[in-house]
Each structure stands twice: as structure tokens, then as C-alpha cells.
Amino acid sequence: MKKILLAAFAALVTVSTLAHAGPKIEHWVAPSGARVYFVETHVLPILDVAVDFAAGTVYGAPDKTGVAGLTRSLLEAGAGSLDEEHISAKLVDIGARMSGSADADRAGMSLRTLSSKPEREAALELLRTVLAAPTFPESVLVREKARAVAAIRESDTRPDSIAAKRFAAAIYPNHPYGASATVESVERIGRDDLVAFHRDNYSAKRAVVAIIGDVSRAEAEAIAQRLTEGLPAGRADAAVPAVTKPARDTLKIAHPATQSHIHIGAPAIARNDPDYYALLLGNYVLGGGGFVSRLMQEVREKRGYAYSVYSYFAPRKLPGPFEIGLQTKREQAGDAIKVVEEVLAKFLADGPSEKELAAAKSNLVDGLALRIDSNAKILGYLSAIGFYGLPLTYLDDFPAKINAVTTKDVKAAFARHVKPEHLVTVIVAAD
Amino acid sequence: MTKLPLSALALAAAMLAVAPAPTFANPFETTLANGMRVIVKEDNRAPSAVHMVWYRAGSIDEKDGTSGVAHVLEHMMFKGTRLHAAGEFNKIVAEAGGRDNAFTSRDYTAYFQIVPNRALPRMMELEADRMANLQLTAKEFEQEIKVVMEERRMRTEDNPQSLVYEALNATAFQAHPYRRPIIGWMDDLEHMNWKDAQDWYRTWYTPSNAYLVVVGDVDHRAVFDLANKTYGKVKPHALPERKPQNEPPQAGIKRISVKAPAKLPYLTMAWKVPRLANIDTDREPFALEVLATVLDGHDAARFARNLVRGQKIAQSAGAGYDGTLRGEALFMFDGQPAEGRTVAELESALRAELKRVQDEGVSPEELARVKTQTIASQVYKRDSMMAQAMEIGGLEASGHHWRDIDKLLEKIRGVTAEEVQAVAKKYFTDDTLTVAVLDPQPLDQTKPKKSAVATRH
């Protein structure tokens, strides 16, 4: 049967409109000072735009954690002469989708619209207005603070949220990466704080504009300039404190849940670290590769200890976390942690086997095409390339960078970035 | 465990007026000699393919005492066949650069791989293999049932809103099988054995109870040919009779509460409403769908505008209706009261929104928005092969035909304000209503629940 299938393969594959290599990315700096990343594709009559700013939680005052997220979410609460009802109604009337996101490093808005001119123009005008001229109405702020406080109180009863917050605080002591919004920090935030945070951080120089879709280069240039020319002048990048690594520790937090929620990890790498590829591959073998990873095999497949067990590196501007996570029946938490620790210790001592590394390379290289098979996915890469200053050829270079990594490289990279003396274990619902 | 709401399906059509589809005959369909249908949608934007096999067997087909077996079998399908060891399929998918998973719903179980298109023949070979040759063993089962119980703890036992939703279904339905949770009752999982899974597999896993959906950069003729050489080799067997198990009419409101550690209360309300039975002659399901969209279909919809933003009575508020299903349909509201407000106040506010539609109907602007959203969603869906495959497979699972995707959209667009008002008046009476509420308990006064001692062997 195999022979027949191989012969059929030739007929199966037709010509693709997106080639195997990465898409052609165009880059320029708009007159406003914003950095722009653009892919032209006319296959679908849609346009996606994302504008990201260096406006994440690290740029907020330490006693007002939550200001970055509130500023971002209130962009849509009123802008120019429009109130929040006008903004949401206008978007719906033209079939456009606008959404926002805010993480530790960045915050921004993305827009998806039909590319036909009336819809596109109206959608871009709305995006321009909310980015440049938010009004931060006091009444909306009062309401949204109340909702944020209620959400915090609720999340502080949930074992997964408690575990995530306590883990971040434990591995980033005295660093904004470890801070979560609290009832107190949100209650301290006033309208002036939002106005100031926007004025300081939502500037063209701090912005990356990503554009993909059914527009020409000239149109994309005009769009990028239009979206960023009216932004506030902003400030130079504020100094963010350096990350210091915590001492090895175990925190047990009481909770009545049936499962213990376990996080083990430490700060690891920044996005521009040359060890990125070695850690990506190594983590695939350890706990990133879904069903085939070592953690999945040992914890779930062999022992049935957990439905979900994983590890990841989340590189940021400054060293982001390495984390292993799982949930398991509380009575067996100790046994499960022991297995995880053994898997990790063995991996740190020996690194991956040649066979495992080859399988990881195969997945990451051959899977690249799947990670860039839609406009939405490519948009995410454009933003990341811009924000973290990755080369324009990042996607094209990816296979060669991955293939150059050896088992020795992986072992050495893990030895540099995942040190047992810094690993913190957080257990919520521990017996 | 994933479900596809009508809103997603209703948006299902090639919006030719907005953007010409590349091929008018697309998708393509054939039926193999053993009764298995094959549906292929060519989409050559990128060199990848989505490969999905759907079985018309979900928790709706389960019996009391073995609830959750459809989902347990889904897990066991990764445990090897006569030709391939446990986990080997996963490994082959991963090395091809792909990803794979499966999901069990009330109406169906589906398996998928998203792979570079050159790996598609291998996927078809392996998926056809486990359709016929699964090797179920007591040893693998004993490991995997523990994983499923951990999954239930994570999704349900420690998730107050899930507990409420589970209780709502178990109360709204007395006879109909939708009363059972997809993941199964914990006690049933504790007493399940490998033979239960084996029985399920032997009963429902047959090509005549399955269909294949492929979306991607493929030639449909080559896929048909491969399907014949792989799935076509699997011998079909007869299916047992499926009893309707219709729910007797409800005559009177049902109210329950669930205690769990939490801070905010949570309210759910569910009315019995019709499902979509006949796409050509039914009109009410489409009116119900439009009603759900007017209340909670987008950011400018009434619940967000009036209850969350306007009156500030709700921390969150939602409305939903899924009429494309095999079983009986519910129209649901849910929400959390804003801090300082009560569940009773939220319930009154939700009822007041309903009454406004009953008394005043909906506006032309609101109907126009439903149509705009429908068109835009349909265009946006073309950016995702998986979304297209889900649309085809989901509609088929509910007993309709992918060819009706266009018709569904037309029907939604044809709904009038009078029809929306009429269904709001007709179906939302307390006699068919079930209300389930989360009664939040302080954390420090809740004792840890001990897991049941393993009685299995």
C-alpha cells in the first residue's frame, strides 16, 4: 500500500500561492517615526493591521499595577467626539473587528476589516481615533475599575489564577514582571494616570505597525502614517530594572481544590538571546512537543498523573520565564512533582538524544509552513519581528538556524539558563 | 468537548457577492463503496492540509452507567493498533511538522491532523487504520482512565461555572441524553472498564457512520483516490437503532443552586426551544438565532450595551442558542452580577431585556447588523482552513448537509423583526425554564474534597 500512496503524492500536491519560504516582508520607518512591517497579499478581500507599543505592564508605576491594562482597554471607551456606544456600533455596522492586548512588554490594538474601500476607510479612521485621541471618560473608568476589582477578587478564589500569580511573584521578586494587579493597586488608579500613561507610551517612536492584506505598498505607507502621525510625542524608553534570579524555594498555598496546581521554573531568556533556537528545540523534547514530549510521556502516558503537563520558555524584552506546569489529584502531587524533577534533572544532565533532536527539528522546520498559513498568523510574526527587533529574514532563516543546533548546544543552553539553584516550585492546593 | 454554535454555522457560505470563490464546484464530494462520505474543499493559499474524520457518535448515544465512554474512547484511539504502537501516530504527525488532536461533543467525535500537504497520504493511511484496527488493552485503559479523571477534575470539579452548567443540563433534561455531561459522571468513570470502551468502538466506529473532511492545498481527485485505497478498505457493519429519547414537555419552572468556592455568583437560565429540523420549511430556529445575536452577538449588542455598560448591573452577560444539533435545543442566558448586585437583580434585568423584545421587537438597524456580521464572518473564515473544515463537519454532524451552508445564511438574512418578536413571545415562558445558580462559598470554609478511593481493578 505504501508504494501506491507515494505515487499518489505527486498528484496530490498542487501549486501554492504562498511559497514554502517566508512571505515577502517589506519594512520602512514612517515619517511619524513608527516602524512598519508589511506583507502584500490579495488572495482574500481583507486587511489586518496591528499597532503595538512599548506600553506593557513594566512601564506602569509599581504601586498602580493594572494601569497599562486599563489604559489599553479604555482606548475604546471614548475617542475624539465618539463615545463607547458609537465606537462599538460603528465597528459592527461595517463588519470590522477590533481587539486589544496587553502583556508585560507591549500593548496595542489590532483591526480586521473587509478591504473594500468604504469599510476599510471607516475602520482605519476608528483605529486612528482610538489610538491617538482617547478621552478616558471618568464614568467609564469608575465602571471598569469596579469590573476589574470584581474580576481580581474572583480570580483570587481560583486555584489556576492563584498559582499563576504566586509563581510570577516568586520568580520575579521586586520586578514588574512579577507584579499582578490587586484590588488596592487598581483602586489607586485615577483618570490622570491613564492620560499620563497614554501620553508617555503611545507614541509613534514606541510603535510597531504590522499590516497584511489586500492593499498596495503605497496604500500601506499612507495607512501607517495616518495611524501614527497624530500620536502623542511620548517619552524615551524608561529604565526597567534588571531581572535578578530567585533562590531555590518551594511555596505551598492552601486551597480546597481536588487538584494541586503546580508550577516549577525561573526567569530564563530575553527574546534576542542567541540561545533561543537551542532552547526552543530542547523544550520541544522536554515538554513543549505536545503528546511526544518527555514530560507528557512520563507524567501522563506512563503514570496517568495529569491531563495537562507542559513546559515552555516565554522570552520577553528582558529574561522571560521558563516554566513547567501541571495539575494533578492533590493526594499524588508529591509523587508527580518527583517525576517532573527527575525528568528535568535527567534532561539537564544528558540533554536530548540525537534522535529526539532530529524529531524536534523535523517538527519545527516542517511545521513552519503551518505557522504562517494565514494572514492572521503572519500578522503575529510581523508584530514580533518589529517589536523585538528580529531580522526581516527571521522566517526565511528559521530552518537553517534550527538545523544548525546540536545536542551539545541544547545541553549547554539549558545549563546556562535553567539552573536548579534558581528553580521555584509553587503548589496551590497542597496537602 | 468543543461545540459549534449556530452562529458559526449560520455564517457559513461562500459569499460570492463579496469575494469570488476560486472554484465554483468547491467543495467536492464522493461516497465510498462502504458508505463513507468524503468531502474535500480545495484551498491552495498555503501548502498545508486539514484532515478530519468525524464519527456520528457522541455523548448523546451513551447509556446510563457508562457516561463519558465516547470521550474515553477518543483518548483510547491514540493507544495503538495492530500495526502501530501506542503514541506512534502522534509521533508521525509531529515529525511531519503537524499537530493533531481530537474532540468529543454531544453529537459526534472528531479526529484531526493539520499537516504539510505532502503528509496527507500518511494521515489517511493511519486514520483509516485506527478506524478498524484499534487494539484496546486493559493495561492502556487503566492508565488512560486516570488521565480522563484528571481532565474531569480540571474542567469540572474545580471549576464552579462548569459545575453549574452541568447541573443545569442535568435538571433541564430528565429523559433526553443531553442531561449527561460529555466527560461523564465521575462515578461512571471510576467504574468504567476497557470492555465498555471496546463495546463503544465496535458499535459506532464503522465507515458508514463516519465522514471525512479535507480542506487544503490538495487535488480532490487525488484525495478521493487515496480515500478509496485507505478508508475504502474498511468493512462496514450495521449500526444499532437509535431511539429518539425525546424529552417530555416541561410544565413548571425548575430552580437549583450549586455551592462551590468562589467570590462572584453565576446565573444560568435555559428555555426549551425548537432545534433546526428542516432547513427548507423551518423559520423559528433562524429567528431564535437572530434573537441571540441581537442580545449578545457582538460588542454593540443589547446585553453588553444595557446591562454591563448602561445599567452596570452585570459583570458579564451572555445569550446563546445552538439549533443545529441532533438532540433538543436550549436557549440560554448566563451572567455574573456586578459587585454589590444580586443574582435576583441580574435575573430581573435579563428578563426585562427579553420583555423589551417581546413588547417592542427589534429595530431595522439591529437586523442589518446581524446581516453585516454574517457576511463579514464568512469572508474572515476563509483565512483559516480549520474554521472551514469545522464548518463543513459541524453542519454534517447535526444531520444537515454542507451544501446547505448557503441556504442557512440566506435564511438568517431573511428573518424579519416580526419573526424575532414572535419567537420571543412564544418560547420564553417560565413553564419551560430552568434556572441554575452558583452560590459562592468562602475558600477557608470549604474542606478539600477527597478523591474517591480507587475501587477499580
Q: Could you say which residues of chain A have pLDDT below 70?
A: 1-21
- Residues of chain B with Cβ-Cβ distance to A4 below 8 Å are 229
Distance from CA of B156 to the nearest CA of A (A): 10
Nearest by CB to A153, from B147, B148, B263: name it.
B263
**Residue range B212-240: average pLDDT?**
97
Nearest by CB to A157, from B45, B261, B382: name it.
B261
ipTM of the complex: 0.92
pLDDT at residue B446 greater than cutoff 80: no
B229/A301 Cβ within 8 A: no
- Cα B177 to Cα B64: distance, rounded to the nearest angstrom: 9
Active-site residues of B, by number, are: 74
pLDDT one-digit tens code per residue, B44-83: 999 999 999 999 999 999 999 999 999 999 999 999 999 9
Task: Evaluate the omega torsion of the peptide bond into residue B27 and state whether it is cis, within 30 degrees of 0.
Answer: yes
- Residues of chain B with Cβ-Cβ distance to A373 below 8 Å are 45-48, 385
- Cα A346 to Cα B71: distance, rounded to the nearest angstrom: 34
Query: Which of B18, B40, B41, B48 to substitute to test the interface with A, most A CBs within 10 Å?
Result: B48
pLDDT one-digit tens code per residue, A70-84: 999 999 999 999 999
- Residues of chain B with Cβ-Cβ distance to A301 below 8 Å are 86-87, 143
* Strand pairing report for A259-267 and A207-213: unpaired
Whether A13-228 and A249-428 share one fold: the answer is yes
A367/B305 Cβ within 8 A: no
Nearest by CB to A95, from B154, B157, B372: name it.
B372
pLDDT at residue B104 greater than cutoff 50: yes
CATH code of A13-228, in short, is 3.30.830.10
Q: Scan residues 321-340 of A and list those with Cβ closer than 8 Å to B.
A: 327-331
DSSP letter (8 states) at residue B24: T
Distance from CA of B71 to the nearest CA of A (A): 13
SS3 A118: helix
Helix (H) or strand (E) holding A401, with range, is helix A394-403
> CA of B366: which chain A residue's CA is closest?
A93
Which of B365, B90, B357, B119 shows the shortest CA–CA distance to B218? B119
pLDDT at residue B443 greater than cutoff 80: yes
Residues facing residue B441 across a β-bridge: B261
Instruction: Note whether A7 contacts B: Cβ–Cβ < 8 A.
Output: no
Domain ranges for chain A, please list them: 13-228, 249-428
Task: Work out the angle at residue A183's Cα, subtended by the Cα atoms of residues A177 and A187, and round it to the nearest 5 degrees.
Answer: 105
Instruction: Note whether A283 contacts B: Cβ–Cβ < 8 A.
Output: no
Which of A152, A161, A105 shows the shortest CA–CA distance to A169? A161
B44/A17 Cβ within 8 A: yes
A304/B143 Cβ within 8 A: yes
B118/A13 Cβ within 8 A: yes
> Please, which residues have CB within 8 angstroms of residue A322's CB and are 6 or more apart in sequence?
A265, A266, A267, A268, A269, A283, A311, A312, A313, A417, A418
Distance from CA of A395 to the nearest CA of B (A): 15
B339/A9 Cβ within 8 A: no
Residue labelled with grid coordinates 507614541: A203
Distance from CA of A212 to the nearest CA of B (A): 12
pLDDT at residue B9 greater than cutoff 50: no
- Cα B259 to Cα A130: distance, rounded to the nearest angstrom: 42
Under 8 Å between Cβ of A129 and A99: no
- Residues of chain A with Cβ-Cβ distance to B379 below 8 Å are 44-46, 114
Instruction: Note whether A242 contacts B: Cβ–Cβ < 8 A.
Output: no
Sign of the C-alpha dihedral, residues B218, B219, B221, B225?
Answer: negative
> CA of A361: which chain B residue's CA is closest?
B95
* Strand pairing report for A424-428 and A249-253: parallel
C-alpha cell at A61: 508605576
Which 3-state string (H, E, C) describes B171-233? HHCCCCHHHCCCCCCHHHHHCCCHHHHHHHHHHHCCHHHEEEEEEECECHHHHHHHHHHCHHH
**0.95 cut: is pTM over it?**
no
Instruction: Note whether A292 contacts B: Cβ–Cβ < 8 A.
Output: yes
A308/B45 Cβ within 8 A: no
pLDDT category at B24 given cuts 50, 70, 90 is low
- Sequence letter at residue B92: I
Q: Note the pLDDT of residue A2.
A: 33
pLDDT at residue B456 greater than cutoff 60: no
pLDDT category at B449 given cuts 50, 70, 90 is low
Query: Which of B74, B123, B129, B146 to substitute to test the interface with A, most A CBs within 10 Å?
Result: B146
B375/A16 Cβ within 8 A: no
Q: Note the pLDDT of residue A431.
A: 84
Distance from CA of A12 to the nearest CA of B (A): 5
C-alpha cell at B215: 480542506
Phi, then psi, of B181 in degrees rounded to 5 = -70, 145
Q: Note the pLDDT of residue B451.
A: 53
Write the DSSP string, A48-98: EEEEEES-SGGGS-GGGTTHHHHHHHHGGGEETTEEHHHHHHHHHHTT-EE
- Residues of chain A with Cβ-Cβ distance to B121 below 8 Å are 5-6, 8-9, 12
> Please, which residues have CB within 8 angstroms of residue B51's CB and are 6 or more apart in sequence?
B112, B113, B114, B115, B120, B123, B124, B127, B212, B214
Distance from CA of B403 to the nearest CA of A (A): 22
Instruction: Note whether A78 contacts B: Cβ–Cβ < 8 A.
Output: no
B46/A373 Cβ within 8 A: yes
Nearest by CB to A92, from B97, B116, B298: name it.
B298
B121/A8 Cβ within 8 A: yes
**Residue range B103-131: average pLDDT?**
97
Nearest by CB to A292, from B90, B117, B375: name it.
B90
B87/A292 Cβ within 8 A: yes
Instruction: Note whether A257 contacts B: Cβ–Cβ < 8 A.
Output: yes
pLDDT one-digit tens code per residue, B242-283: 998 999 999 999 999 999 999 999 999 999 999 999 999 999
Q: Scan residues 165-224 of A and list those with Cβ closer than 8 Å to B.
A: none
CATH topology of domain A249-428: Cytochrome Bc1 Complex; Chain A, domain 1 (3.30.830)
> CA of B155: which chain A residue's CA is closest?
A307
B153/A85 Cβ within 8 A: no
> CA of A1: which chain B residue's CA is closest?
B229
A18/B45 Cβ within 8 A: yes
> CA of A328: which chain B residue's CA is closest?
B150
DSSP letter (8 states) at residue B266: E
**Residue range B196-216: average pLDDT?**
98
> Please, which residues have CB within 8 angstroms of residue B404's CB and are 6 or more apart in sequence?
B279, B395
- Residues of chain A with Cβ-Cβ distance to B372 below 8 Å are 92-95
C-alpha cell at B132: 478498524
Residues in chain A: 431
Instruction: Note whether A138 contacts B: Cβ–Cβ < 8 A.
Output: no
Which of A43, A48, A104, A52 shows the shortest CA–CA distance to A75? A52
A369/B116 Cβ within 8 A: yes
Q: Note the pLDDT of residue B453.
A: 45
How far separated are the first and last CA of chain B, in Å rounded?
28
Query: Which of B18, B28, B117, B147 to substitute to test the interface with A, most A CBs within 10 Å?
Result: B147
> CA of A374: which chain B residue's CA is closest?
B383
Instruction: Note whether A15 contacts B: Cβ–Cβ < 8 A.
Output: yes
A18/B87 Cβ within 8 A: no
- Residues of chain B with Cβ-Cβ distance to A291 below 8 Å are 78, 87, 90-91, 94, 100
- Cα B226 to Cα B231: distance, rounded to the nearest angstrom: 8
Under 8 Å between Cβ of B159 and B266: no
SS3 A109: strand
